[in-house]
Amino acid sequence: MFGSKSEGTTTAGLHSDADCLNCYHKYNVIQDYEEWKPGFRNLLMIKDNTTSPGYCLLQQTYDNVPLPVTHVPDEDYVRDSSGRVLLKNTLYRDAMPAGNVQHGPSFAKQGEHGIVDTDFVPAFHCYTWPYEARPWLDRQGIGNWPSADMKRFAANNGCFIVPVASKVSQNPELEWRISTSQAERCLMFNLNITQICCYVLMKMILKTFLHHAGEGHITSFMCKTVLLHCIENTHSNAWQENNLFTCLSCCLHVLYNCLQQENCPHFIIPRNNLMTGEFSPEVKALLLERVFHLIQTDGQALLRVQIDDLGQRLQIKLNMLYQIPENIPSKKENCLRISGSLLLNTAETITVCSSSIISKTIQNSPITTIQNLRNVLTNYKRCYREGSKLEQRASSLIAPLFCSTLGTVIASSNIQTNNIIPPEAIDWLCAGLNSDVAASKLKLASVFYSVRDLENTEFILRYTEGDFCFDMVEPVCYCYIISRNKYRRMFVEVAYHQNEEAVRSVCAFCVKFTRAEIHCVPQELQYEMYRSTQDDLLYRESNDYWMDWAVVDSLPYLYFLQYKTYRYLQRFDDQHQALVNLAKTTETERNLGHRETALNLLGQCMEQENQPNKALNCYMISLKVRERNNAASFHIRRLLANLIIT
């Protein structure tokens, strides 16, 4: 993940998108044949007198010998006039998912109300630092910045190659951009608060005064580049909080000079002019006029910035407003909201990572699946012992979900053959209990319920409900993107005061059962594994693998299991209360990810209560929530058929 969200250089009001770089490691990009590796698709970075600065061509080599190929493998390659076989940068254009829009090298999913846009950039990695950028390693400005450690990090981490040509390229389908985004992120991580504020203010100015004039052609990356040049060429003691407006003015002057010369040199590869081919003479003149006016106002223009109520906040600071408007959130409220978003993003990333890997490890053979899951956990164990602090934290948060899945797969296999739960399965399930507030505990309860060990089932459900602080715990699901409503107040308070470990105490993941775990899944929930008709399959995307699983939010599933358990135990008052809680949660919980599944479970409970009309109503509402790939379609047909027969 790159961009302003990972750097901490955005605000809620800027509505920044997320930048996700997808690196394809089957390709090995090399600058010299000494870097060639067998077993990879090796691509040699080359340049000629037609290649734009900061860009390269990718020449295909043989897989078994470090020599350039002489034949064109397929339509993704072309032979140029010199006889070289080159990879076209249109490689991923045809593979762009439906509903996405292309922007340069990236494609973005847009247009969903309340959802942040995400730019996905396909890329290859080159393990060595690009030749063109090597002079930067020896360059030293007035401010003795970047430091030797930052440059060492950059050189050790190489670069990425992304599929887009220069605006003035002579080979628009063959050029690939050399991206030093990892080095740039390292630089941004080492800015002080004044430098970060300066960059944020530049982006606010850009969005308020310059974006519509330049039709988007002055980019935030140009602003970032200007900032980095200013930091390099000024003394470090100039970047103090009491000097913020002077620093901002300096950046605006440099931006103005870049516009005048139509030259904004890339910070690391200066021969790459970021403004090449960007502006018509008319747009350039208009932008120069507006930037000049901004410089002349000596900071007064900031009073007209409405983003994050900046103008009003400044007027309050300057005592030009004596009463704080009610609609302006306090600093504490902003911090709470940001902290809540960060913790939720962490929790969502945990579920996405685990689900994606699990989808690749599940096989038709239970033995193979169990071994695959053991291998994954061995890798996480090694990462925890030998990795960086960041890798150790990530491993400790993700591994419990795999422990639970492994335990349930082992239990399912044994329940199928002899209806017992082996001790090993219990051990793995217990090892995963601290993944979050409820999901892993509910998987353990499901395993006991499957062999009708109702005493242990009821104990775990009661214990889980006791841990579920309803004013604090947020449901977490990222199977598909939903527009999330306001966070619980206590959730954001915990997020503000604690670190990522708070995921375990204030987040409730959705409960996921793969088909390898089917014998640990109640019959009512098994229908969700077969939700898609042949027509429905046409409406699924590549990351919809979870639709072949049984997936349900924790809290509705907790009440459903309670209903079934108390029904077996003939504790009818508790059974009724569980049903009431299930109905209430399904209706009122605002952030459920699988409301349609909760409604399907509620409908089947209503059938068991001999209330077919209420059951049918549940299924109809479920279909309104999710029209396609919904087991409610089957339930409706089954229910109507039963009514006709009886």
Task: Quote the pLDDT of residue 315.
Answer: 86
Among the ranges given (94-108, 362-376, 407-421, 427-441), the one the predictor scored with the smallest mean pLDDT: 94-108
pLDDT digits (tens, 9 = 90+) for 393-447: 999 999 999 999 999 999 999 999 999 999 999 999 999 999 999 999 999 999 9
Residues 102 and 76 sit within 8 Å (Cβ to Cβ)? no
Residue 249 lies in domain: 191-328
- Mean pLDDT on 22-49: 92
Q: What pLDDT score does 479 carry? A: 87
Q: What pLDDT does residue 540 have?
A: 86
Q: Say if residue 541 is in the same domain as residue 638.
A: yes
Domain of 261, CATH number, reads 1.10.1410.40
**Which ranges in 488-590 belong to alpha helices (H)?**
489-497, 503-506, 523-526, 554-569, 572-588
In Å, how far from its chain's centre is CA 425? 32
Residue bearing tokens 């295909």: 60
- Asked if residue 482 and residue 438 are part of one domain, the reply reads yes
Last residue of a domain, one of 443, 471, 506: 506
Q: Quick check: is 211 in a domain? A: yes
Residues 38 and 129 in one domain: yes
526/424 same-domain check: no
Whether residue 54 lies inside any domain: the answer is yes
pLDDT tens profile 551-609: 999 999 999 999 999 999 999 999 999 999 999 999 999 889 999 999 999 999 999 99
E strand residue ranges, 16-149: 18-23, 27-30, 41-46, 55-60, 77-79, 85-87, 100-103, 106-109, 118-126
Indicate whether 92 pLDDT > 60.
Answer: yes
Contacts for 613 with CB less than 8 Å, ≥ 6 apart: none
From CA 597, how far away is CA 1, in angstroms rounded? 32
**What pLDDT does residue 547 have?**
93
Using alpha carbons only, give the angle 491, 496, 498 rounded to the nearest 5 degrees.
Answer: 90
Count of the separate structural domains present in the chain: 4
**One domain for residues 471 and 369:** yes
171 and 44 in one domain? yes
Note whether 61 and 68 are within 8 A (CB). yes
Given 475, 506, 537, the domain boundary residue is: 506
What's residue 324's pLDDT? 62
Compute the average pLDDT of residues 498-508.
95
Asked if 214 and 307 sit in the same domain, the reply is yes
> Can you give the pLDDT at residue 114?
39
- For residue 170, being part of any structural domain is answered with yes
Residue in the structure block whose two tokens are 């300096």: 250
The per-residue pLDDT for 115 is: 44
Same domain membership, residue 580 and residue 484: no
CATH number at residue 628: 1.25.40
How does pLDDT run across 132-153, given as a tens digit for each residue? 999 999 998 888 899 999 999 9
| Same domain for 208 and 180 | no
The per-residue pLDDT for 215 is 59
Which tokens is 364 given? 């038709």
Whether residue 342 is found in the same domain as residue 311: no
Summarised one tens digit per residue, pLDDT across range 193-247 is 999 999 999 999 999 998 765 555 799 999 999 999 999 999 989 999 999 999 9
Average the pLDDT over each of 88-102, 160-174, 574-588, 590-604 and give the range with the smallest value. Answer: 88-102
Same domain, residue pair 94 and 243: no
Asked if pLDDT for residue 47 goes beyond 50, the answer is yes
> What gap in Å lies between CA 412 and CA 421, rounded to an integer?
8
Residue 431 covered by a domain: yes
Is the pLDDT score of 326 beyond 60?
yes
Residue carrying the six token digits 């009818």: 572
Does pLDDT of 476 surpass 80?
yes
- Asked if residue 113 has pLDDT above 50, the reply is no
**pLDDT value at residue 143:** 80
Do the domain assignments include residue 516?
A: no
Cβ-Cβ contacts under 8 Å for 575 (sequence gap 6 or more): 562, 563, 566, 567
Q: Does 515 map to a domain? A: no
Residue 305 scores a pLDDT above 90:
yes
CA dist 235 and 94 (Å) reads: 49
What average pLDDT is seen over the chain? 91
The answer as to whether 512 is a domain residue is: no
Q: Pick from 280, 310, 328: which residue ends a domain?
A: 328
pLDDT at 312 over 70: yes
Q: With a cut of 80, say whether residue 112 has pLDDT above it.
A: no
| Confidence (pLDDT) at 91 | 84
Among the residues of 139-192, which ranges form H helices?
148-157, 181-189
Q: Is residue 511 part of a domain?
A: no
Question: Please, which pLDDT band fits residue 2 given cuts at 50, 70 and 90?
Answer: confident
**480, 352: one domain:** yes
